[in-house]
Amino acid sequence: MKTIDDLGDLRGKRVLVRADLNVPLDGEAITDDGRIRASLPTIRALADRGARVVVCAHLGRPKGEVKPEFSLAPVARRLGELLGKPVAFATDVVGESAQATVAGLADGDVALLENLRFEPGETSKDDAERGAFAEKLAKLADVYVGDGFGAVHRKHASVYDVPKRLPHAAGQLVLAELEVLRRLTEQPQRPYVVVLGGAKVSDKLGVIENLLGLADRIIIGGGMGYTFLKAHGYEVGKSLLEADQVDTVRGYLAEAQKRGVEIVNAIDIVVADDFSPEANTQVVAANAIPAGWQGLDIGPETRKLYADKIVDAKTVFWNGPMGVFEMAPFAEGTRAVAEALTKVDGLTVVGGGDSAAAVRQLGFTDEQFGHISTGGGASLEYLEGKVLPGIEALADSA
């Protein structure tokens, strides 16, 4: 896989950078600019070498329609602030504005195209439709740099098809993410602890299956934890439950026992009588969730248990919050796990998505962890052993 150092003299060349700028917005206010910051090293390096940098990215899921609430205009403003210079913004993706904006760039300038997903061809499953859009996008540039790690598991035009049409290289963020993932999957330092949370166990089944042959200990929390509790024969009240996955989870529990992998489940739960920060709450044993109540966080004894199971690790991968961290009464489980990771003497990886948002919202800094991934879904698919289309395209030696 080529790096940007392999691209030679870039002065005067138009370099299309596929970045991941899919940031959370409150109106036009960016509530977490972590992904923009993570994209800066590659963009700066290219601009400093005299490239005319054309950044493209997606935001949300507008499903091929132009929807103002998904415009990248606020991202262009923030990118300019962080770079310390103006970022030209094209009000379309490959149309007149994009063409004029790119044509107006001088060496070292940076532009951002409008949301890629405003174009149906970006996400189309039809190869011809996707390819036709990729042709238009490729015509805006001389070179392609793939740096949007959060999208490399998608077979989208800007991720998979454009690098087939241009000389290409991997950006610094993609290389950094891959290096961390290799450390998690190729002879990780032990004990190796994996912490999995989030809503659905079905989203994590492939990861669990793959990690049963790799991890020493898997800690389960969040909404997916109630399917595990059900698999142990416990009643879970109105808690989130994927009943169709209970038998699958039982199978994983049996396989873990056979392989000597420790599966750690909650021993107490914070339950509520409503999904609300104003709900009545109580702490109950994991096998005593009352009918009509729902678990929204791990309890205090579980927080201590999980912290004890994390702090002696040499490698930790964490993906998914332990509870509904967005509501203050149900954030303490996630806070406890994050705090435990900061005390680990080894590699700690926060696996993107809600986990990354949670640690920042709870007041932790990026520097307190070994690595905060920008791509939750991409990280999980890599850990499942899947081929990532965007990485496959970059690995092609063209």
Task: Please check if 2 is assigned to a binding site.
Answer: no
Catalytic residue among 150, 323, 333, 353: 353
Task: Please check if 58 is assigned to a binding site.
Answer: yes
Task: Please check if 352 is assigned to a binding site.
Answer: yes
Is residue 35 annotated as part of the catalytic site, yes or no?
yes
Buried/exposed code over 140-170 (b: 16+ C-beta within 10 A; e: otherwise): bbbbbbbbbbbbbbbbbbbbbbbbebbbbbb
Task: Please check if 354 is assigned to a binding site.
Answer: yes
Task: Please check if 326 is assigned to a binding site.
Answer: yes
Nearest-angstrom CA–CA distance, 366 and 85:
25
Catalytic residue among 146, 320, 323, 377: 377
Nearest-angstrom CA–CA distance, 374 and 318:
13
Task: Please check if 61 is assigned to a binding site.
Answer: yes
In angstroms, how far is CA 180 from the centroid of its own chain?
14
329 contacts 277 by C-beta, under 8 angstroms: yes
Of the candidates 194, 198, 197, 224, the one whose C-alpha atom is nearest the C-alpha of residue 210 is 194
Of the candidates 1, 32, 6, 37, the one whose C-alpha atom is nearest the C-alpha of residue 19 is 37
Is residue 200 annotated as part of the catalytic site, yes or no?
yes
338 contacts 355 by C-beta, under 8 angstroms: no
Is residue 353 annotated as part of the catalytic site, yes or no?
yes
Task: Please check if 22 is assigned to a binding site.
Answer: yes
Structure tokens at 260: 């000597």
Positive or negative CA dihedral for 25, 31, 37, 40? positive
Task: Please check if 295 is assigned to a binding site.
Answer: yes
Task: Please check if 21 is assigned to a binding site.
Answer: yes
Task: Please check if 60 is assigned to a binding site.
Answer: yes
Task: Please check if 355 is assigned to a binding site.
Answer: yes
Catalytic residue among 200, 250, 304, 314: 200
User: 278: exposed, middle or buried (C-beta count within 10 Å: 0-12, 13-18, 19+)?
Assistant: exposed
Give residues with Cβ within 8 angstroms of 206, minimum separation 6: 380, 381, 384, 385, 386
H-only helix segments in 65-204 = 73-83, 96-103, 120-123, 127-138, 172-185
Task: Please check if 77 is assigned to a binding site.
Answer: no
Is residue 77 annotated as part of the catalytic site, yes or no?
no
Task: Please check if 156 is assigned to a binding site.
Answer: no
Catalytic residue among 14, 18, 35, 78: 35
Binding site, by residue number, is: 20-22, 35, 58-61, 117, 154, 204, 295, 326, 352-355
Binding site for ATP, by residue number, is: 204, 295, 326, 352-355
Binding site for (2R)-3-phosphoglycerate, by residue number, is: 35, 117, 154
Kindly list the catalytic residues. Answer: 35, 200, 353, 377
